[in-house]
Amino acid sequence: IKAVTLLICLLVQSSLFAQDNLSALIPFPNKIVQKDMQRKFTIAEGTYIELSSDSLSFEAEYLQKMLRERMGVTLSIKKGPAKNGKAIKLEITPSIKGREHYVLNISDRGISVTGATRGAVFYGITTLDQILLGDIINTKQRRVSALLIEDQPRIASRMLMLDPARHFLPIDDVKLFVAQMAKYKYNVLQLHLTDDQGWRIEIKKYPMLTDIGARRNPKGGMKGPDNGFYTQEQLRDLVRYAADRNVEIIPEIDIPGHTSAIIAAYPQLGCKHTDTLTKVIGKNMNLMLCASNDAVYEMYKNIIGELAAVFPSKQIHLGGDESVIEENWAKCDRCQSLKKRLNYEKDSSLMNYFFGKMLSFVREEGKLPLLWCELDNIRLPASKYLFSYPKDATLISWRNDLTPKCIELTRQSGNPLILAPGEFTYFDYPQYTNDLPEENNWGMPITTLKKVYAFDPGYGLSEQDQAHIVGVCGTLWGEAIKDINRAFYMTYPRALALAEAGWTNMEHRSWDSFRDRMYSNLSYLLKAGVSFRVPFELAQK
């Protein structure tokens, strides 16, 4: 039924809307200099892909494959200047300012894609890909209309978050996810590697973390969806795969809450530990690492060391969300004496002690910390007894009601902020009434496609007041995500809307235009085997 409805939807839409060289561009570019559309570059037998240096060979092959799929031609790849000028040139031009700023120039004599980095050149290619996707008739005739695009993003970090901790996703599925997000110019994947339901990264010094912690269902061997982990080798390979597509992987190991899996493997790390604990992995345990236990710090120092060696990202995400202090630290004798010794009034102030240590391990590895903007529910104004974020931490906001507070907190403190407000960017929220066959974590809230598109990462603040907002993140918690099809279904098409919210300046954004540009992208996703929710409601109106 879904497929038939989709086809009808696509047919109706494609007859209603123009198919031209701008009609599939998502995110929409920030600067387009439209040229005479009658002038066209024809891709013929002798046309080849020319690259300025070997460092662009991945991009050249990516372009070659893309042209083969779109136009049925296989162009050869050469280094150095094109003899007859009939080339698609890829070039690194250091003088272009901006790491992701690309210039795509299509004239009747050739095409050039330039930028200061490989990532920028890659983005020029993804834009060209969408030009061909939209301009059906010219593409069929192997022609591309003249056009000049000089484009760069509004927001530096355009992120999606995957949660293979709750349900394991095999590494090849994570790669598929990365390949798709890269097409829409997302540049960071936050990988939530540890939680109550699973420990998903091999740590060589502590094999029990995965022997026990990666098995939510102790009967299932290491087979998914509940069991499984990534070897460091697999993760290194993933990092390279993503880097080729200008995607950085930021690993998250969530502490001090969300730690049932590690505590199941090493019960002595928790505040309350009983013999029954060892085999139970899963939420509702409300367990926390014990702030007063030196073994916790020793172990995490080593874990962070191994993590830092696998992921070249400058940042390590240490979580910090949803700690149940009352049930853990407040009831733990050793924590209470530590609190007295430190002269703290509140149990929550132990967070300062806990993260003081954990963040120093991150810094020792030459990395910067990332934390959920939630510790102690950021009850403002911060007093010395509450947790205060160190200057080098980037924060990521999540709960709807906390986002304005987080913006204000970071505006004052100067900490960089990534926005992931639930009502705009949580992709585990339903997309439309009753569209979730599986149990949903959240119940009430619904994040429609239109709502995501309405997201303004500047929150309507003055340019100065939003200067510290460095990222947006589409967050997909995994409690109800049993496999990659489900992950895609919840992510798309909402991720298209968020991609544009993160990349395109407000003055170039329009819902009507986005909606029209979305349809050809849905047909692309269908062909690529990427599941998505059909936004029936848009066609019905």
Distance CA 227, CA 263 (A): 17
Closest approach, Cβ 401 to ligand TNX, in A, equals 13
427 binds ligand TNX, rule: CB under 6 A = no
**285 within 8 A of 228, measured Cβ to Cβ:** no
Tell me the angle at which helices 294-310 and 350-364 cross, rounded to the nearest 10 degrees. Answer: 40
Closest approach, Cβ 475 to ligand TNX, in A, equals 7
Beta strands in 383-518 (DSSP E): 394-397, 417-419, 469-476
324: amino acid identity, one letter: V
**Nearest residue relative to ligand TNX (C-beta):** 477
321 binds ligand TNX, rule: CB under 6 A = yes
Distance CA 301, CA 199 (A): 17
- Grouping H, G, I as helix, E, B as strand and the rest as coil, residue 11 is helix
Nearer to ligand TNX, 161 or 338 (CB): 161
Q: Which residues contact 281 (CB under 8 A, 6 or more apart)?
A: 196, 197, 198, 212, 213, 215, 216, 260, 261, 264
258 noted as active-site residue = yes
Question: DSSP code of 220?
Answer: S
477 binds ligand TNX, rule: CB under 6 A = yes
163 noted as active-site residue = no
135: amino acid identity, one letter: D
Nearer to ligand TNX, 192 or 245 (CB): 192
Compute the C-alpha angle 159/315/383, nearest 5°.
100
DSSP H helices, 343-435, are: 350-364, 403-413, 422-425
Take residue 171 and report the two structure tokens written for it. Answer: 């590494």
Closest approach, Cβ 364 to ligand TNX, in A, equals 26
Closest approach, Cβ 15 to ligand TNX, in A, equals 41
For residue 70, which phi and psi values (nearest 5 degrees)? Answer: -80, -35
237 binds ligand TNX, rule: CB under 6 A = no
Closest approach, Cβ 441 to ligand TNX, in A, equals 4
423 binds ligand TNX, rule: CB under 6 A = no
Radius of gyration for the chain, computed over Cα atoms and rounded to the nearest angstrom: 25
Nearer to ligand TNX, 237 or 322 (CB): 322
Nearer to ligand TNX, 107 or 441 (CB): 441
Closest approach, Cβ 191 to ligand TNX, in A, equals 14
Closest approach, Cβ 322 to ligand TNX, in A, equals 5
What track of x and - describes contact with ligand TNX for positions 368 through 387 (by CB under 6 A)? Answer: ----x---------------
479 binds ligand TNX, rule: CB under 6 A = yes
Take residue 13 and report the two structure tokens written for it. Answer: 């839409």
Nearer to ligand TNX, 114 or 197 (CB): 197
435: burial class by Cβ within 10 Å (0-12, 13-18, 19+)?
middle
Nearer to ligand TNX, 336 or 441 (CB): 441
Indicate which residue of 50, 195, 374, 376 is catalytic. 195
Site for ligand TNX (CB under 6 A): which residue of 61, 91, 108, 322? 322
**459 within 8 A of 410, measured Cβ to Cβ:** no
Q: What is the 3-state secondary structure (H, E, C) of 224-256?
A: CCCECCECHHHHHHHHHHHHHCCCEEEEEEEEC
Nearer to ligand TNX, 153 or 257 (CB): 257
What track of x and - describes contact with ligand TNX for positions 172 through 211 (by CB under 6 A)? Answer: ----------------------------------------
Report the DSSP pairing between strands 315-319 and 368-372. Answer: parallel
Indicate which residue of 258, 347, 374, 500 is catalytic. 258
Nearer to ligand TNX, 196 or 500 (CB): 196
**289 within 8 A of 265, measured Cβ to Cβ:** no
135 binds ligand TNX, rule: CB under 6 A = no
**214 within 8 A of 196, measured Cβ to Cβ:** no
Closest approach, Cβ 373 to ligand TNX, in A, equals 9
Indicate which residue of 150, 322, 327, 408 is catalytic. 322
Distance CA 288, CA 299 (A): 15
398 binds ligand TNX, rule: CB under 6 A = yes
429 binds ligand TNX, rule: CB under 6 A = no
List residues near ligand TNX by CB under 6 A: 258, 321-322, 372, 398, 441, 477, 479
Q: Which residues are catalytic?
A: 195, 258, 322
